Amino acid sequence: MEERKIIKELNKILTLEHGHLGMYKNFLDYSDQELRRTFRRFAEIEIEHINKVKSAVLNMGGKPSTIVEGGDIIGRLFGITINLTNVQEVVKTYSWVEKKSHQGYADFVSKLEQSGGAMQQFIAEIAAANMLESRLMHLWLDDKLKSYGDHKPSQ
Ligand SMILES: [Fe+2]
């Protein structure tokens, strides 16, 4: 993978990571204390993801894509509408988004590893850390989803 392509991919990931932060940053809106606490930490993790990807772009001599905060980035990116009043649906959608994030990172990491090179390996290590965390978030959300069972929770 050549440098220009890596920067382009990282900037795509950066946009997605801003979308992820948008999912969790309103953690205070949830009445479920466990969700509030978890989404708060998830928001912190997403900020870490953004910062890592952003500094990777900068250190490669690239220009990080600027994102206008606010609005439903994830909804726009994936062409979906999230009904925020239905907590079960929120958890289900976020679980799906994190699964996609993990897959995206896994593809990126394997492409980087295939192309060899010290710089590619370095970026792969950064991406692999985010990949693991998106997997952990997906698994937590999936587990939370199972806990709802048949009854519908209110927000
Ligand atoms: Fe993320």
Instruction: For residue 64, give the DSSP letter.
Output: P
Q: How far is the CA of 5 from the centre of ligand 1 (A)?
A: 20
Question: If you measure from the C-alpha of residue 22 to the centroid of ligand 1, how many angstroms do you get, rounded to a whole number?
Answer: 10
Q: Where are the domains of the chain?
A: 3-148
Angle between helices 118-148 and 33-59 (to 10 degrees): 170
- Options 1.20.58.220, 1.20.1260.10, 1.10.287.70, 1.10.3720.10; CATH of 3-148: 1.20.1260.10
- Rg over alpha carbons for the chain, rounded to the nearest Å, is 16
Distance (Å) from CA 86 to ligand 1 centroid: 22
Q: How far is the CA of 16 from the centre of ligand 1 (A)?
A: 7
Q: Give tens-digit pLDDT for 12-44.
A: 999 999 989 989 999 999 999 999 999 999 999
Cα(120)–Cα(115) distance, integer angstroms: 7
Prediction pTM value: 0.89
Percent of the chain with pLDDT over 70: 93
Least Cα distance to 52 among 139, 143, 140, 134 occurs for 134
Q: Kindly tell me if the per-residue pLDDT of 89 is higher than 90.
A: yes
What is residue 75's predicted lDDT score, i.e. its pLDDT? 74
Distance 98 CA to ligand 1 centre (A): 7
Q: Give the pLDDT band (50/70/90) at residue 77.
A: confident
